[in-house]
Structures are given as C-alpha cells and as structure tokens.
Structure 1
C-alpha cells in the first residue's frame, strides 16, 4: 500500500485539476506517423522510434505551454490508441487477433466493427497470472516528461491510463481470461488491481501527482442501446456497474491524499466520430458518489451527452471538468456559449444535496475540450492551428469565467 495516506475524500482537490484542462492526446506530427510506419515495416529500430517519439513529446509540451495550460501531458505520442500502454505490458496478457464473436455485440463500437465487415480485431487476452513487470509500465515515460519541465512543475504533469475495466467490458468473463488461470471475475480483477496499485505507487514515487483514467465504459452505460443489449444477453448491468466501481475503489484504496485521480469518460472519439449517445442520468448518483475519484472529465460538447441536470448529484468534495469545447471539428466555440453552460452547471450543482452556495459550486468547475485531439494516432479531422486555437480558448474562457 501507499505510505502516509489520509482520507482523499475529505477535501476538494484543485490545482490539479486546473481551471483550464485538457484530456491528454494531441495530434501526432507527420514525421512521427511516418517513423512509426517504418518501425512496423521493420525498417527502423525501436531506439530510433523512441527518439522520434521523444522529439514529438518535447514539441507537444511546448504547444501546451504556449497555449497557457498548466496541465502538461506527453500528448500520448507513444500510443497508437488511448487504451494502449498498460494491458499489453502486464505479464500474463497476450495481444491477439480476436474473432469478432469474442466481443460483446451490444457495445456501440463493436457494432461499428460489425458494420465495417471486420471478422477479427486485435485485442488482449489473459493467458497467465497477471503481474506488473519489474521495469514498470509508465514510469520511464513519466521520467522523460519530467525532464522537459522545471522541477516546480513536475507536480502538474498528468499521466493518462487506460481504465481497468476496458478489456472485461469488451469480452465479458468468458473471453477476457483463460478460466484455467482465473476461475472468476473476482480472481482476475484481484491480480489486475494489484498491478495497477503497484504502477500508481511507482508513479507517485517518481513524482507524479496527477493521474487520469480514460474509460468510455461508464458512458456506454448511459446508452439505451447498450442497456437493452445487456438485458437481452442476460447481463445484469447494475451489478456490472457496481463491480466496475468497486474495481476502481480497490485500486485507489489508501492512496495518498495529494495524488489527484480523475476519470475521463466519453462516447467515442474515432477520427471525429462518436459511438453512442445518452446523458449521465442513469449512472450519475453512483458515478459521482460511490466512485472514489477526485474529478470527472465529462463530455458536454453536443446534445448526444444529454443535459447538465445530473450535475446535481456532484458531492461537495469533488470537481467536475466540463468538456464544452469539441475536438471533433475545427469550429471555434464562443466565450458566451461557454459562459452560459458554466452558469447553468453552477446553478445545478448549488441545488445538490447538500445545497451549497453558488460561489462554492462555481469553485467545483473546470473547463476542457470534451476529449483528446487524437484518441487514435490518425487524429480527429482538425488542423494543428485549430487544435492550438481550441486550447487557447479553454485557457481564455477559464480566466474570464472561473478565475
């Protein structure tokens, strides 16, 4: 367990998150995409690819700094997709091309696979006991990122991590792990939880104080199509939701009070497309009150995310980062639009239980783009200039409305 821990739910975490936030991924430069293609073709070495990634990360840091952001990430330059980085590095996990039948057909993005005519999709399968590798998962990457900022800014760096539920949601217990290795979900998640705990502990020891879990899982519970599909398949969605919340809480048990944990959940962000729709109403009470994270990065850039009413469930001890600026198109939102949404959110949060002053409610709000600019390496249909303008808009709006 972590040392020197306190009850992380007893106070409001802020700075981080900062008033102007962003989710993490940035557009990959063409030279990085070209180098990765050469690596996959076997015409450049892993060391040469990493050197190119290092250069792209250094450039990404400058983009964030020039926009006025305090939160700095590596732009996910080392990943082909947001969910890469942890499962494939854990001992006991195998990266295989899986038949489409091993995916849950009721998931909106799996429906996309089926409609596209895909018969097989790469994914992970647990073939042995899960263990965190001795060299760690993200620590080396984080240490490089720390070398690019002044020492006083290391605590502002953010590491984004794929959520622990991702593979289980896609495949269910029958296709997530070999039952000769794990007989039950409880056994599988016990070792997975331990691996995540160890990684968070190592990141903390390296100076990391800001971790964001990326997990669209919870947004899929907001979609009527998913719930209907689960019910038809005989899956108790409420029990599954409870289990996923408990998995997170087990990972975060006895974490240090000065380690900020956020959860980002969205409805899909594949080259400008989304996979599902539906507001947070169905899950808001449990998500905001039972999941022991400090802040929620919520997608709110279009009507597909529903209204702001679920924010009434936000407890006094937590922050919400409103994703009001879209990354799916280059069209720039106005300060007035953002002001209206933030005003409405503050009014609703103030009406929560227990009621609180509007000033207190406003203090619980940050603003960000609704998702990353490149959840997959190909990126969204937006230019680097438009990306820069979006980031600058978030900073300007935060200064004018929230500070």
Structure 2
C-alpha cells in the first residue's frame, strides 16, 4: 500500500475543529456590539493561521479553516443562497447522548424566491485558507444540496414561486453547480459536501417521521443523489469531491441511528463523488456489510475515531476494524478519519484541545502504520 497524493487522504478529518477561547470571546463581543466586524475578522484570521499550522504539524495532508467563521456547519451557507430566507419559526431537533437527551432549537427556512447564487459563498474564506496553508491541501466544506430541502421539506417551498417542485430542484442544482465552478476558479481542489439527510434516512424512525409529513421516505435518497450529481457534474478534472454522512453532531450528541443498509446500493453505486466519509465510531452506525456496494475507484474514509468523547481509541482496535472493513472493500480503497467534526456548531463537542490533538495524531499515526 502507498500513501495517497490526492483527496481523500489516508489520514483525513471531516472539517470542523474546536473554537479557541479567544475566538469565542470575540464572537460574543461582536454580538453585544463591543467589537466591529473587521476586528472579529482579524481575530478569526489569527485563529485560522494557528489551526492550519496545528493540522500541518500533526501531519495531516488536508487542512480546513476549522469552520471558525461559522455558527453552524450548514445554515451559514444555506441562508446565503438567493431565494432562501430565515423565518421566525423554530425547528426543534431531538438529540441523544450517553447521558440522556438534548434538544437543539434552530431557525427554520423558507423558499420565498427563485433559488440562485449571486456571489461565491465562503469565497473570501477559502482564499484566506489557501493563502496560509504551506504543506496541506486546503479543503472547503459546504452542506450538500439535500440539506436545503431536508431542513424544511416541500412545506417550506412557496407554491407561488415553485408550483412544480422539479423547478426548485433544477434551480437549486444550478446554483450549486455555479458555486462549484466559482470555488474551482479560486483554486479549490478538495470540496466536501456534508449531508445528514442521506444518513438520517437509514433510521426507520426518521423515515416514519418523513412519511407522516407527506414525504416519499422510500425514494427521497434517490432524488437527493440525482440532484447532488447534477450539482457537481461540471467540476473540473483537478477537483476532488467527497461527501460526509452524519447522523447528527451537536455537543457530543446525535439524532439518528442505524447502519447504511437502506441507502447503500444507490449511494455507493450512483453518487458521483470521489470518496465517502462514513461514521463508524460505535454500534449505532451499523456494520461494514453495506460497503460491498462500493465500486472500484471510490474511497471510503472510515470514521472510526469518535469526536464525541475524549477517550482515546487504541491503535490495535482501529487496525482490527480496518481489517474487518477490508473484507467488503479493498484495503487500498480505505482511509481513516474522525467520525464527524469536533465542532459542527460553534459550541463544540465535549472534548479539550489536547483531546482533539491526540485524536488527530492517532489518525495520522495509525494510517501510516496501516498504509505506509
């Protein structure tokens, strides 16, 4: 086995990283009006320089900006699309963790105009990241097109704007295609589409909830796959696209459970990405059997290292699980990462910076021993 020189890498990570204390304080100061936008941006710049150096010093071949300029992994992007508006309604998302239940309240969205793109979302952010990396490939993470629909469903789409939902999908994919084209022009060669919907739909409870709201739970994942493919079909040859499937990640808690069986055949066989970041840190993620549908040429990044708990996994156990996965997809098509980001929302998971460093270092060291 050899090291990989193109994304995804043997040792990789999902994207979000724990925000440093001074950045959190600066965000609070901006919120209460005692710090300007420009001053906050300067604090963010310094924090991103530091976290890029951290990733490179650990030995990672990819580096993100930690999503340090965002409040959440997805809505900061989605609200910048034309035609998407924030509402006064709240979406209540029920999360679970080892200690009990936790609820997350988020602003809802509505599609009240034609969906489009009038600027490169996160464009300046990516340009700054690209300017400060030295050895690593800069990776941009954005929510997949599915998330614009899954968050509100058909009920969020104004029928006077889109009497035919197919027109909404055409415009959404076109907006994403434009975004992909524009970030490619900025030099982005590693783009990740983060997606909870394709993982949630593996959970029978999530499918039942979708059905109760009038959704097509049996086939919605197929629609999402088609729309993602339309969004990325025009990417240049030098751009590598991955997707990360997540069952929820908020303050060390999750929403959905279940293996990848329900979506596996369509997901792995039809989604036109270069790699899949998959959660595999505990029993709620199911077994490796669905990986039998992964075709040649696709990479699977095994999220065996949890980002939800500080306890450090053993190398021997990680290697054993990699061997188990290799029964279903060749070892050369496998990589290793954390199961999710460390801070999908600004609050972060219940780990320290030292815990985060230890886990990222473990990923790099284990991958080197397995693949060379």
Find the residue that maps to 1:39 and give its secondary structure. helix
SS at match of 1:28: coil
Structure 1 residues 4-403: aligned runs within 5 Å: 15-100=6-91, 121-134=106-119, 136-150=120-134, 153=135, 156-175=137-156, 177-349=157-329, 361-403=330-372
**Quick one: distance in 2 between partners of 1:70 and 1:117?**
35
- In the alignment, structure 1 segments of 5+ residues that lack a partner are 1-12, 350-360
Matches of 1:370 and 1:219, distance apart in 2: 13
CA distance in 2, matches of 1:235, 1:95: 22
Count residues in correspondence. 365
Q: 1:345 to 1:67 in 2, by over 3 A?
A: same
Unaligned runs of 5+ in 2: none
Query: CA shift at 1:109, angstroms?
Result: 5.3
How far residue 253 of structure 1 moved from its aligned partner, in angstroms, is: 1.6
TM-score of the pair, normalised by structure 2: 0.93
Distance, in Å, in 1 between the alignment partners of 2:53 and 2:321 is 30
**In structure 2, how many angstroms separate the alpha carbons of the residues matched to 1:83 and 1:233?**
23
Counterparts of 2:371 and 2:359, CA distance in 1: 17
The answer (yes or no) to whether the contact 1:158–1:209 under 8 Å persists in 2 is yes
Q: Distance in 2 between matches of 1:235 and 1:37?
A: 39
Q: Supply the RMSD in Å over aligned alpha carbons.
A: 1.9
Q: Is the 8 A contact 2:177 2:234 kept in 1?
A: no
- The 2-side partners of 1:24 and 1:159 are apart by 8
Partner of 1:6: none
Q: What is the deviation of 1:238?
A: 2.4
CA contact (8 A) 1:97 1:121 kept: no
Q: Is the 8 A contact 1:294 1:319 kept in 2?
A: yes
Structure 1's 237 and 14: CA in aligned 2 closer, same or farther, altered over 3 A?
Answer: farther
Q: In the TM superposition, what is the alpha-carbon distance from 1:266 to its structure 2 partner?
A: 1.3
Residues 191 and 242 in structure 2, CA contact (< 8 A), matched pair in contact too: yes
1:108 CA drift (Å): 5.4
Aligned-pair CA distance for 1:254: 3.0
Q: Is the 8 A contact 1:173 1:184 kept in 2?
A: no
